[in-house]
Amino acid sequence: MRFVTAAAMLALVAAPVAAQTTRSISASDKAQGAQANPELVKQYGGRYTGPQAAFVERVGKRVAVQSGLSNAQGDFTVTTLNSPVENAFAIPGGYIYVTRQLLALMNSEAELASVLGHEVGHVAARHSQSRNTRSTIGSILAAGAGLLTGSNIATQLVGTGAQLYTLKYGRDQEYQADGLGIRYMTAAGYDPYASADMLASLAASSNLAARTAGKDANAIPTWASTHPNSADRVRRAAALAKQTGRPETTPPQDTAFLRMLDGLPYGDDPREGIVDGQTFRHPGLKLKFTAPGGYAIANGSDAVTVVGQGGQAEMRLAQGNDLGQAITQRFGQLGTGTPSGQLQNGTANGIPYAWVTTRAAANNRAVDATVVAYRFPSATYTFTLVTPAGSGIGPFQPLLASVAPLSTAEANAIRGKRVSIVTVKAGDTIDSLSARMAFPDYKRERFITLNGLDPEQALVPGRLVKLVVNG
């Protein structure tokens, strides 16, 4: 694949925004975005509607109108997502997204502008038409299976948004979006050097996430899974910023932005359930389960998914309390018709359940599709499993056995975290402040990454820093 040359990238930034052809977003792009938007929002935990959302919307629209896609701010929809995953993306139709978790990593309004400008750049360059077809974890069952009958079942499971837009970009596309994003943010009045700062923070956060998950540092988590990042990208972004003609300075700390972040939820939202290691717990639904070792859990607003090499699973609410009927209804939703397997029954931690496995086809290969239904006192839930042919529930047996009710005491003990903005006092150090981080491990590393600090940096009294605290 041909990569965009450095000279070409510098030319992208040097070209004046006014030279672009200003146009309105096409009706077809608007329709495409409107169709995908609801599924994407659900996949990422729903909309975050706290006070920070309005700030993000203002910045996003201010940057987006510089793209030439439309000169009307009203043509753009900027959504903050209630997700504990660091990510941002945009889709045709003027839809721009950033998660609250990524917002928490930022240390200035200019860094926010750089991320939103970059994502708009992907849309302006129409990268979604030529993307790599490797799906992210968000594509859950559709990614590994295709699924079942070869019909539109994948769409029924994860929606068009997950399939079309949460896919991996190529390196040349990232370079191009970097250049476009820097152009847009500069035209909007922001410091272009913030782009390199943001990329460095994202790289540090991705490396830390890999370490805290017990993975090799070269693993590709969250934002990096769709936006390949490297030290080379940071250097290129700095060079692109220099080409704007703006001098590089040391801007004062953006205290207004940091104070705006105060109180922002951090990590899992207890109202949507929390992921703690391999265990998912939902205080509202009063249930919990543990995923097999090596499997990942993705929590959406209407489903929880578990993904690993041996198969994939999706848990969601069912109708009624008859287990057999719930299983039949779920197979009907999947478009498989009447399942060929026999209904089997079991009990897990006092909760009755039943399951049926049937043989199906996915991408011209055989798979086992299993629907498991659990009857809790207040509701019925189903797990839809897809495993290699002949495996049945095999790799998910430990998960199915772990499903259990959550006691009132356990539910009440689940507390969320939030960002707290504090002022450095005389005598405060990275070590003393990081000790207040609401995590059992990597406190110092988390504090340094969250605040974009050098590990040996001395903190100056009066400076604002971010802490993650309980409550």
Q: What is the pTM of this model?
A: 0.77
Q: Are residues 217 and 323 in the same domain?
A: no
Q: Are residues 113 and 221 in the same domain?
A: yes
Q: Are residues 102 and 158 in the same domain?
A: yes
Beta bridge partners of 279: 276, 290
The predicted-structure confidence for 98-153, as pLDDT tens digits, reads as follows 999 999 999 999 999 999 999 999 888 887 665 433 333 233 233 323 333 333 23
Q: Tell me, yes or no, whether 52 lies in a domain.
A: yes
The pLDDT score that the predictor gives to residue 298 is 81
| pLDDT mean over 445-451 | 98
| pLDDT mean over 239-243 | 92
| pLDDT mean over 325-350 | 89
Q: Tell me, yes or no, whether 228 lies in a domain.
A: yes
Domain that holds residue 39: 27-250
Q: 372 Cβ partners below 8 Å, 6+ apart? A: 327, 353, 354, 355, 382, 383, 385, 393, 400
Beta bridge partners of 99: 81
Tokens found for residue 88: 């941002």
Q: Are residues 457 and 326 in the same domain?
A: no
Sheet strand arrangement including 95-99: 77-81, 95-99, 88-91
Q: Are residues 106 and 143 in the same domain?
A: yes
Q: Which residue carries 């043989």 as its tokens?
A: 359
Provide the domain count of the chain.
3
Q: Are residues 67 and 181 in the same domain?
A: yes
Q: Tell me, yes or no, whether 16 lies in a domain.
A: no
Q: Are residues 204 and 333 in the same domain?
A: no
CATH of the domain at 427: 3.10.350
Q: Tell me, yes or no, whether 258 lies in a domain.
A: no
Q: Are residues 303 and 438 in the same domain?
A: no
Q: Are residues 223 and 182 in the same domain?
A: yes
Q: Tell me, yes or no, whether 3 lies in a domain.
A: no
Q: Are residues 189 and 309 in the same domain?
A: no
The pLDDT score that the predictor gives to residue 148 is 35
Q: Are residues 190 and 95 in the same domain?
A: yes
The pLDDT score that the predictor gives to residue 123 is 87
